[in-house]
Amino acid sequence: MKVPQGVSSPKSGQVCKLLKSLYGLKQASRQWFEKLTQFIYAQGFVQATFDHTLFTKSTASSFTALLVYVDDIILDGTSLTIFDELKLALHHTFQIKNLGHLKFFLGLEVARSSKGITLCHRKYCLEILEDAKLISCKPVSTPLGPSSRLHQDGGSLHHVVSAYKRLVGRLLYLTTTRPDIAYATHQLSQFMASPTIIHYQAALRVLRYLKRSLGRGLFFPQSSDLQLFVFRDADWGGCIDTRKSITGYCFYIGKSLVSWKSKKQNTVSCSSTEAECRALASATRELQWMCFLLHDLQQSPSRFLVLYCDNQSALHISANPVFHEHTKHLDIDFHLVREKLQARVMRLLPISSHNQTADC
């Protein structure tokens, strides 16, 4: 570490001894991001309003997006010249390592072809299986059993709680490219404090499912419509312990799946209509955020945003204010959805439960 300005050294060529690294300080991440942000601003970039890790730069002939994750950066845009200039400036200020075209990022494997881009976690899946000593296990076809309903039972506790927490934490990170295990991982993550043998066996079943499809991930086709549409569903009283309902939704831009969630609702719903409407409001908020993010990327949907709902009561109440007298406890959620409908931000369309992609 170089001697700071204003500090005199008794001998020439001396340096300071580092007692604590920057990564060990509580404010390290904040100070680092502040310094990096100031540098990016100086390069002519603008910080996105609804995702502060995204920076964009637009000129008459080019568009560049810069995405930051701690000290890792992804560049995307239309001008390689701007890329080279920005990399040179970054290297001069921070001494970066240029890894070239995006192939591997935080465990995420990226493959390109003439048809589109594929994202997967194959290597990460293998590491999880090797760590759990299940690399040669017999695969299964579903992440959870057909009749499996996990709950806080009085069974024998798992002897190593930290191993269960580590396994579920790794599965949570894996859901960034594996929406097929999102619901199972959501179920497993509720028992971090006191997992039982049954919960640990259910987690191992998810690993056996991953063994069957190691390379499965997300595919983003090169030619795709920019229409944004949403499937959302609710499992009324799905949590056995609390009887809270579970919200599930998935967002598509054209044929590309870009966002999904499986989460327990905050309050208990007294009817299936109430659970469906809370899920509808949650999906509407996410839809609005997605619109803002597309605006920051200077993209606009080609057609109306569409939200599919398979509950007729929720559809009627959202469209007709007369029913609000019977649902005053849901007034805020309904007004949020109706406001977006009246502003023509989206269209709310019916869909059969058989075709409901977001079915938990």
pTM, 2 dp: 0.80
Q: Which of 181, 226, 175, 179 is nearest to 206 (CA)?
A: 181
The C-alpha atoms of residue 257 and residue 155 are separated, in whole angstroms, by 38
Q: How, if at all, do strands 108-112 and 46-47 pair?
A: unpaired
Task: Note the pLDDT of residue 323.
Answer: 56
Q: Which fold has domain 22-98?
A: Double Stranded RNA Binding Domain (3.30.160)
CB 298 within 8 A of CB 57: no
Domain ranges of the chain: 22-98, 120-212, 224-355
Under DSSP, the state recorded for 174 is: H
- pLDDT of 326 higher than 60: no
Q: What is the pLDDT of residues 114-133, one digit of tens each?
A: 999 999 999 999 999 999 99
Question: Would you identify the CATH topology of the domain 224-355?
Answer: Nucleotidyltransferase; domain 5 (3.30.420)
Cβ 100 vs Cβ 112: under 8 Å: no
% pLDDT > 70, the chain: 93
Q: Is the pLDDT of residue 11 over 90?
A: no
Residue at 152: amino acid letter: Q
pLDDT in tens, 279-288: 888 999 999 8
> Which of helix, strand or coil describes residue 336?
helix
Higher pLDDT pick, 58 / 324: 58
Q: For 183-201, what is each residue's pLDDT tens digit?
A: 999 999 999 888 999 999 9
Q: Exposed (0-12), middle (13-18) or buried (19+): which is 225, by Cβ within 10 Å?
A: middle
Per the CB < 8 A criterion, the answer to whether 65 and 297 are in contact is yes
Residue 246, phi then psi, degrees to nearest 5? -115, 130
Confidence of residue 110 (pLDDT cuts 50, 70, 90): very high
